[in-house]
């Protein structure tokens, strides 16, 4: 990053790459370790981006190139640089640095993207060697987030993460810009240097943003409390970026959220009320997508937004099953959720295997990998074509309302009105008809409709009794059942909070 002090840019971020008027000629470099490196070898730093053994170098480089494409950079070439040992000064070896410097000069490259986590010293040394701007994976993701933020809340969260990242990279100090000398006569030392002034300005701005984010946190907490006052449960969509969450959200809600074949096409969360098969409703929340080696500063900055996931009654993990690294992506998403304090042991999670239409075109549909007995079978869908959507809604409904009371009903064949009401307002788990034409139904019904169910069945000459079997078990093949929620009084539908 440039070190000339804070300058105004996109969303208040210093020296934004994305704010340049023309696409910058860029070179993408994947300096991937050929073996697992310990922290001391990385000059005291944690293992670098892309060091996961689950991901081949080609897949990691392809993802880095897509990240650059999300910023509309003019990528002239993407190349992999094997790293046997991390160099504290430049991350890669001196010979490779010279080779790349020649390529940067010959191709008139203005930006070099290193798909790893660079220290401030490594970044500065590479910029000097290449005579070009150098950014790492963290800075690239921050740039994309800054471009995608559309609300004040999103802009604040991105700016906070960007300034936190930038503060450690103020490395140039101009002694001729000392503001004053301290003390009296010749005894006073130099006053505030430019780097100290820049750092102070950034720290003051971060403090102001943190105060604003506290207000954002209170507002989102208020929205959650308002949703909790009603009878509608909350379902949160999570998943790797470009897994199809926004397309699925649009399919279920007709909300018109931006959905593109692009990493981080959407950033700001959106909530809408959706209808379920038996007349119930739930809030569906579309959240920001995750990615491997997601910067810790971003996770911290977006904590207020991600708390919507923690507060949800059900988390729907959307996976792109057409992607070759979908299993590694699953691990990355579950890793971020674990950082937030959410896992399968403490929270119900339903897996949705998306983009099955792309797999079917190739003529095969692999079965979900076996992981352990606690992991449920997933629901297979295509958000683009609508395949499997009804099954997904049924699975969501079963999970949200499995704690409800079940009833065994016997309804005569002449009670058409009563049967129609049952099918509209209750979840019919099983149905049989005897020789006399009477229907024997096992149904699950919300607490506020039990009285009306009993009244209608009796009025039609039928019988209703509480089912004595194990409640919540029939039909539960896609996830574990939820703990019972406290019944709330009926409430009118409100506009969804966004």
185 versus 392: the higher-pLDDT residue is 392
Residues found in the chain = 498
Q: Write down which residue in 206, 229, 252 finishes a domain.
A: 229
pLDDT digits (tens, 9 = 90+) for 211-231: 887 887 777 677 666 655 555
Answer yes or no: is pLDDT of 455 > 80.
yes
**From 32-41, 250-259, 408-417, the region with the lowest mean pLDDT:** 32-41
Average pLDDT, the chain: 75
Mean pLDDT of 414-438: 89
Q: Indicate if 238 and 224 belong to the same structural domain.
A: no
**Look-up of token digits 């170098």:** 57
State percent of the chain over pLDDT 70. Answer: 69
Q: Indicate if 212 and 321 belong to the same structural domain.
A: no
**From 258-272, 371-385, 436-450, the region with the lowest mean pLDDT:** 258-272
Q: Indicate if 167 and 118 belong to the same structural domain.
A: yes
Mean pLDDT of 252-277: 69
Straight-line distance from the first to the last Cα atom of the chain, in angstroms, rounded to the nearest whole number: 34
Q: How many domains does the chain have?
A: 3
pTM, two decimal places: 0.67
Query: Which residues touch 78 (CB under 8 Å, ≥6 apart)?
Result: 27, 28, 29, 30, 61, 62, 64, 65
348 versus 109: the higher-pLDDT residue is 109
Q: Indicate if 94 and 147 belong to the same structural domain.
A: yes
Cα–Cα distance measured from residue 94 to residue 300, given in angstroms and rounded to the nearest whole number: 35
Q: Indicate if 238 and 223 belong to the same structural domain.
A: no
Q: Phi and psi of 39, rounded to 5°?
A: -60, -40
Specify the pLDDT at position 495. Answer: 38
Q: Write down which residue in 401, 418, 449 finishes a domain.
A: 401
- Show the domain range for 2: 1-229
**From 148-157, 218-227, 409-418, the region with the lowest mean pLDDT:** 218-227
Mean pLDDT of 109-125: 93
Task: Report yes or no: 478 and 350 within 8 Å, Cβ to Cβ.
Answer: yes
Q: Has residue 498 been placed in a domain?
A: no
Q: Has residue 477 been placed in a domain?
A: no
Q: Has residue 281 been placed in a domain?
A: yes
Answer yes or no: is pLDDT of 484 > 70.
no
Q: Has residue 224 been placed in a domain?
A: yes
Q: Has residue 481 been placed in a domain?
A: no
């Amino acid at each position: 990053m440039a070190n000339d002090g804070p300058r105004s840019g996109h969303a208040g971020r210093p020296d934004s790459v994305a704010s340049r008027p023309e696409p910058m000629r860029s070179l993408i470099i994947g300096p991937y370790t050929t073996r697992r490196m310990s922290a001391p070898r990385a000059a005291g730093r944690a293992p670098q981006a892309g060091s996961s053994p689950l991901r081949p170098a080609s897949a990691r480089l392809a993802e880095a190139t897509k990240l650059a494409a999300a910023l509309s950079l003019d990528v002239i070439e993407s190349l992999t640089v094997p790293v046997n040992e991390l160099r504290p000064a430049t991350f890669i070896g001196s010979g490779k640095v010279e080779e790349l410097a020649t390529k940067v000069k010959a191709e008139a490259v203005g930006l070099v993207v290193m798909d790893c986590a660079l220290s401030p010293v490594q970044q500065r040394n590479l910029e000097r060697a290449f005579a070009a701007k150098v950014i790492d994976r963290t800075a690239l993701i921050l740039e994309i987030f800054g471009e995608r933020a559309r609300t004040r809340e999103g802009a604040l969260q991105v700016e906070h993460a960007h300034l936190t990242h930038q503060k450690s990279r103020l490395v140039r100090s101009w002694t001729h810009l000392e503001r004053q000398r301290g003390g009296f006569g010749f005894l006073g030392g130099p006053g505030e240097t430019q780097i100290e002034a820049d750092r102070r300005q950034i720290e003051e701005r971060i403090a102001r943003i943190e105060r604003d984010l506290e207000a954002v946190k209170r507002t989102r907490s208020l929205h959650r409390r308002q949703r909790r006052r009603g009878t509608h449960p909350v379902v949160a969509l999570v998943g790797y970026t470009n897994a199809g969450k926004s397309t699925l959200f649009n399919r279920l809600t007709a909300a018109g959220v931006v959905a593109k074949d692009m990493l981080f096409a959407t950033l700001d969360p959106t909530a809408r009320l959706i209808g379920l098969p038996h007349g119930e409703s739930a809030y569906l929340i579309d959240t920001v997508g995750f990615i491997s080696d997601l910067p810790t500063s971003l996770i911290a900055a977006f904590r207020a937004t991600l708390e919507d996931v923690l507060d949800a009654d059900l988390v729907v993990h959307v996976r792109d099953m057409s992607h070759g690294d979908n299993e590694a992506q699953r691990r990355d998403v579950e890793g971020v959720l674990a950082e937030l304090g959410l896992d399968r042991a403490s929270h119900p999670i339903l897996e949705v295997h998306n983009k099955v239409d792309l797999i079917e075109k190739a003529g095969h549909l692999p079965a979900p990998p076996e992981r352990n007995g606690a992991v449920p079978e997933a629901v297979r869908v295509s958000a683009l074509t609508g395949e499997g959507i009804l099954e997904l809604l049924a699975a969501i409904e079963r999970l949200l309302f499995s704690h409800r009371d079940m009833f065994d009903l016997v309804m005569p064949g002449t009670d058409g009105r009563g049967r129609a009401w049952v099918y509209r307002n209750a979840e019919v788990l099983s149905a049989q008809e005897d020789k006399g034409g009477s229907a024997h139904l096992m149904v699950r019904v919300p607490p506020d409709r039990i009285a009306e169910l009993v009244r209608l069945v009796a009025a039609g000459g039928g019988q209703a009794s509480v089912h004595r079997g194990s409640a919540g078990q029939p039909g539960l093949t896609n996830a574990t059942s939820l703990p019972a929620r406290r019944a709330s009084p009926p409430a009118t539908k409100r506009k969804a909070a966004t």
